């Protein structure tokens, strides 16, 4: 069986990349081609149009595509998550200085950001913050962060920037900050252009981040792929393998990023500022077989976040249409 799987260059694509590069798919008799895409919208469209068999995809975007809320109509299933957490909010050094939070604690950072957002909005110069797609946990986490400080997302100018473009956009002053997944926050800090202000794991713990999304017609053929995914996830979740995983992901064929930055994210040992300040966050990004499980409330959480972001009018009506999207039974059947 030959398949094409798409991904966006991020650390949490690890299990999808490793199932091919580590030989786990080959052991199941499959030939899998990896297809890297720069943006989530491109990946969504290729999956919906049948140009890909599956993808590492934003969980809310995959559900939105299945519900017909984003992109071409598509019948999709998600048998497994791919990671937990992994996002962070990074701001320019100038914005961090202007915020001047009382401390690095999340409530103080949220209040400082919300206060400055309100001031800039009133002055007709709203802050420009980037998310990776409207239907994403990144958008919802930015909203939650501002709400924690007493602010609102509609007081900032929210733009979409693909993950690999976030650091350069910050460097050029096109945006004031962004919410993105690993390793791009660490890349911004290492480049001396950004300061990690808040971690996604603190804003929305155990967030359902990316899911393995398949075309619905893949259901009957998914078992070998899911067995390979489980084996790859076990390998990725083993700390002894992290140096090798970081080198694999950091190579030119994939993220093309300093492996040490990826490794620090895997270990949860994050440099948060160019001055060398470090924060220990063991749950910053969680990989491994346990991270594949989809919790029963995952779909409801996403629908409620969509409603809060004014992307969905009726959660109750959407719940029925979403019922067949999450398919953890397919993963469980591979035990």
The tokens describing 28, both together, are: 């199941």
CA distance 317 to 308: 15
CA distance 134 to 66: 15
CA distance 304 to 312: 8
The separation between CA 82 and the C-alpha centre of its own chain, rounded to angstroms, equals 10
Tell me the chain's radius of gyration from C-alpha atoms.
19
Count Cβ atoms below 10 Å from residue 243 Cβ, excluding itself. Answer: 14
Exposure string of 274-291, with b = 16+ CB inside 10 Å and e = fewer, is eeeeeeebeebbbbbbeb
Digit-by-digit pLDDT tens for the chain (335 residues) are 899 999 999 999 999 999 999 999 999 999 999 999 999 999 999 999 999 999 999 999 999 999 999 999 899 999 999 999 999 999 999 999 999 999 999 999 999 999 999 999 999 999 999 999 999 999 999 999 999 999 999 999 999 999 999 999 999 999 999 999 999 999 999 999 999 999 999 999 988 799 999 999 999 999 999 999 999 999 999 999 999 999 999 999 999 999 999 999 999 999 999 999 999 999 999 999 999 999 878 999 999 999 999 999 999 999 988 989 999 999 999 87
**Contact between 39 and 8 (Cβ < 8 Å):** yes
> Which pTM does this prediction carry?
0.96
The tokens describing 84, both together, are: 């937990």
| Comma-separated ranges of CATH 3.40.190.10 domains in the chain | 2-85+208-265+280-332, 87-203
Q: Which CATH architecture has domain 2-85+208-265+280-332?
A: 3-Layer(aba) Sandwich (3.40)
CA distance 215 to 262: 30
CATH superfamily of 87-203: Periplasmic binding protein-like II (3.40.190.10)
- Give the single-character DSSP code of 103: S
Number of H helices, E strands in the chain: 16, 14
> CA distances (Å), 289 to each of 9, 116, 168, 331, in order?
20, 41, 34, 11
Omega before residue 183 within 30° of 0, cis: yes
List, in order, residues 6 or more apart from 14 with CB less than 8 Å away: 82, 83, 236, 245, 249, 287
Helix axis angle for 14-21 and 242-250, nearest 10°, is 90
**Contact between 197 and 91 (Cβ < 8 Å):** yes
CA distance 39 to 221: 27
């Amino acid at each position: 069986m030959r398949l094409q799987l798409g991904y966006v260059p991020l650390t949490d694509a690890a299990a999808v990349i490793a199932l091919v590069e580590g030989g786990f798919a080959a052991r199941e008799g499959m030939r899998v081609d990896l297809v890297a895409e720069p943006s989530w919208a491109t990946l969504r469209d290729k999956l919906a149009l049948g140009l890909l068999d599956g993808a590492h995809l934003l969980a809310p975007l995959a559900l939105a595509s299945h519900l017909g809320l984003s992109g071409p109509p598509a019948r999709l299933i998600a048998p497994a998550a791919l990671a937990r957490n992994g996002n962070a909010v990074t701001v320019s050094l100038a914005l961090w200085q202007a915020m001047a939070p009382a401390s690095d604690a999340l409530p103080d950072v949220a209040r400082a950001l919300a206060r400055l957002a309100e001031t800039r909005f009133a002055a007709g110069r709203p802050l420009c913050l980037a998310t990776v797609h409207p239907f994403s946990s990144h958008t919802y986490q930015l909203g939650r962060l501002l709400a924690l400080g007493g602010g609102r997302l509609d007081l900032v100018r929210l733009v979409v920037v693909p993950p690999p473009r976030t650091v350069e956009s910050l460097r050029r002053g096109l945006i004031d900050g962004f919410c993105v997944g690993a390793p791009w926050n660490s890349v911004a800090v290492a480049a001396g252009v950004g300061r990690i202000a808040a971690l996604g794991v603190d804003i929305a713990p155990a967030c359902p981040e990316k899911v393995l999304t398949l075309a619905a017609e893949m259901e009957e053929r998914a078992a070998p792929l899911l067995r390979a995914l489980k084996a790859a996830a076990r390998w990725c979740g083993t700390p002894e393998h992290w140096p090798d995983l970081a080198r694999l992901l950091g190579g030119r064929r994939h993220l093309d990023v300093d492996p040490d930055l990826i490794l620090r994210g895997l270990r949860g040992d994050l440099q948060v500022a160019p001055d060398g300040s470090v924060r220990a966050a063991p749950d910053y990004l969680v990989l491994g077989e346990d991270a594949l499980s989809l919790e029963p409330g995952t779909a409801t959480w996403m629908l409620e976040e969509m409603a809060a972001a004014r992307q969905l009018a009726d959660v109750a009506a959407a719940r029925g249409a979403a019922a067949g999207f999450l398919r953890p039974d397919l993963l469980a059947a591979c035990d």
